[in-house]
A and B are shown apart, each in its own frame.
Chain A
Amino acid sequence: MTLLSPEHPLASEKITPDVIVIGSGPGGAVTATQCAEAGKSVLMLEEGPHLPLESAPHFSREEILQKYRNAGVNIGFGAAKIAYVEGRCVGGGSEINRGLYHHTPESVLDLWRRGYRVDALTLDELAPHFAACEAVARVEYLPGPAPQLSTRLDEGAQRLGWSSVEVPRLYAYTKDAASGAPGRKQSMSETFVPRFLKAGGMLMADTCATKLTHSDGRWTVHARVNGSARPREIELKAKTVFVAAGAVQTPWLLRRSGIKRHIGNSLRFHPMLKVVALFADELNTPGELEPVHQIKEFDPRFSMGCSMSKRPALALAMAAHPEMIDAVDRDWRRMAIYYVQSTGGTGRVRSLPGFRDPLVRVALEPSDLKELADGLARLAEVLFAAGAVAVYPSIPGYPVLKSLADIGKLPETLSPKQANATALHLFSSCPMGEDSDKCAANSFGRVHGTSNLFIADASLLCGPTVVNPQGTVMAVAHRNVMRAIEDRAI
């Protein structure tokens, strides 16, 4: 096992790995592990710290400060602003998301193959890669009944005749409750990263790649080490580099390195709106497991689900109704947070001269805003069917809904200034495929016009996955790195 401290003398130009992987999230960790297990010398860089899974409870204030990029304050600017979140720690987004797991819908893969001319990307062709990833990171359904705040949504959907499913999670539930925890989340720091280290991989946390240059057949990664008291600059060289820093940081790094063709121009995301539903009876209890039901009736237009609904999260979601904030103290056991997310919206990623952080611009078309408004109305409908007595949209200025009839009071579309949407899933900023008019990388992630430079994260996905994207990111990364190893490209 090689965990390199930034102060370690090895953690400098003296390391000469075959492969450098930039980023340790689902794409980077899978890629680095496969390379290390194929006998390559691999160095994985991670900008954030290396923290244990239990360093902070999920979606707590401590977790946001420790593991979220910029303490969760990231804004996509445009007429309608989008707040988005990214992980910034070893394991990346897998450490902070809920691990809800899906295979990519066949219809989504069809669109990508036809629209971007991606080779060998049917569901059958991806199946062994999903299986390989699931052999390392366990995917399980809840061992018993789902929490009530989750089943309530399912019941509402059934009453309306809508399709609803229980979604498995990247989670290993356990019999042993000695630790007081229900099991172990199967994030990258729990699964692929230990396996990578066991295979001889080297991990350097607190190290931010700032630029790539290429000469004499080798890539130089210019990086800033933040772990020490005084940040310092280092240079690391390798024949092959995989960039897996996420859908915003990857295009930021490539553009700073002068690699700009179809890079950062086509960011997509799943814009999300939330509501707090108040029920007549208690359904939210401390220690409850994560909710797992999603309504798929309207896919691919929009889907709905239930969010983690502990009191701090309820307070955040109720902040749009400050006059009602005390209701959280009083009625929290009768409250839960639900969301609707669509697939609309586009964005661009740019680097700003003189600043470290990338600038993200987003655009939601009128049709995207209308879709979200429709989704919000449908979400309220299913919650009333589920027994809600009031629904509080997390949109400042929006009315509290107390009956089905009140849904008619909602505006027909969202005002861009009012939208208050968030995005947890970002992708497509560097799409893969053989269509050189719109793709940044080939069908297997090699950046067009370069040698031995690959992208290995959600940036590669050609559009919204409609479902939670982590399974797709891992399977595509596995597919691409296996192809590179088979072709002896690395």
Chain B
Amino acid sequence: MSRQFEYAILALGETIAYERRSADDKRQALGVGAAEFLLRVHRQMPDYLRPPFHILVLLFNAWPLIRKGRFFYQLSLDDRLAELDRWRRSRLEFRRRFVEFHVSLALFGIYSNLYGQDYQHDPVVTGAPARL
């Protein structure tokens, strides 16, 4: 994975964490956690998907060069939020799909960090064998 790719994913994770409006001071850490999760998913996805997804991330990162003269990861947080929203509302399907894919995974990562305790169980008594 190239350095530009990792910068873009890190900025994307952070932006998605800030897009969630809940005001708390954990958002930067949550963004880093979400980005780490996204990087793991990119590394593990099917091998024939990795090159096109890599290119898509680089394209997403370079897109603001046209309007702002900067890469996505170099934009201010407000500009990154606006750019993410432009991709989400784009008429081009691949841009919408790109945002859907990364936002859904990043949110799953963020909520896993926030609410890992949800996976703890309370005790219950024994069950009866099923009569099928």
Contact = CB atoms under 8 A, between A and B. Distances in A.
A316 B121 contact: no
Contact of A286 (B112, B120, B126): B120
Of the listed residues B48, B96, B119, the one surrounded by the most CB atoms of chain A closer than 10 A to its CB is B119
A103 B19 CA distance: 46
Interface string A207-229: 00000000000000000000000
Nearest to A289: B124
Contacts of B116: 57, 60
B25 interface: no
Contacts of B129: 138-140
A181 B126 CA distance: 12
Interface stretch (B3-11, B60-68, B69-77, B99-107): B99-107
Q: Which of B44, B107, B111, B116 has the most CB of A within 10 A?
A: B111
A329 B108 contact: no
Given A141-B127, A144-B125, A312-B115, A130 B120 contact: no
Given A73-B45, A310-B119, A357-B46, A143 B132 contact: no
B122 A182 contact: yes
Interface of B: 19-22, 37, 40-41, 44-49, 88, 93, 96, 100, 103-105, 107-112, 114-130, 132
Contacts of A356: 47
A417 interface: yes
A328 B107 CA distance: 11
Name which of B49, B114, B125 has the most chain A CB atoms within 10 A of its CB.
Answer: B125
A357 B47 contact: yes
Contacts of B119: 57-58, 60, 310
Nearest to A168: B130
B44 A70 contact: yes
7 contacts: A60-B112, A62-B112, A72-B41, A143-B128, A171-B127, A182-B124, A315-B111
A174 interface: yes
Nearest to B117: A286
Given A287-B122, A319-B100, A65 B44 contact: yes
Contacts of B21: 326
B112 A142 contact: no
B9 to A, nearest CB: 14
A319 to B, nearest CB: 4
Contacts of A269: none
Contact of A312 (B19, B48, B96, B112): B112
Given A61-B108, A319-B107, A71 B126 contact: no
A72 B126 CA distance: 33
A71 B41 CA distance: 6
B40 A71 contact: yes
B13 to A, nearest CB: 13
A27 to B, nearest CB: 20
A359 B47 CA distance: 10
Contact of A183 (B93, B110, B112, B127): B127
Interface in A109-134: 130, 134
A108 interface: no
Given A73-B49, A175-B125, 13 more contacts: A65-B44, A71-B41, A71-B45, A72-B41, A171-B127, A172-B127, A182-B122, A183-B127, A286-B117, A310-B118, A313-B108, A322-B88, A355-B48
Contact of A311 (B19, B118, B125): B118
Given A182-B123, A315-B110, A359-B48, A140 B40 contact: no
- Report, nearest first, the 9 A-B pairs whose CB atoms are least far apart: A177-B123, A173-B127, A57-B119, A168-B130, A319-B104, A140-B127, A357-B46, A71-B44, A315-B111
A173 B126 contact: yes
Given A181-B121, A314-B111, A396 B127 contact: no
Contacts of A322: 19, 88, 103
B46 to A, nearest CB: 4
A355 B48 CA distance: 6
Contacts of A177: 122-124
A61 B123 contact: no
Nearest to A417: B93
A326 B129 CA distance: 41
A172 B93 CA distance: 46
Contacts of B110: 315
A328 B120 contact: no
Contacts of B88: 322
A138 B20 CA distance: 43
Contacts of B128: 140-141, 143
Interface string A357-392: 101000000000000000000000000000000000
B48 A141 contact: no
B95 to A, nearest CB: 12
Contact of A61 (B19, B104, B112, B125): B112
A325 B103 CA distance: 11
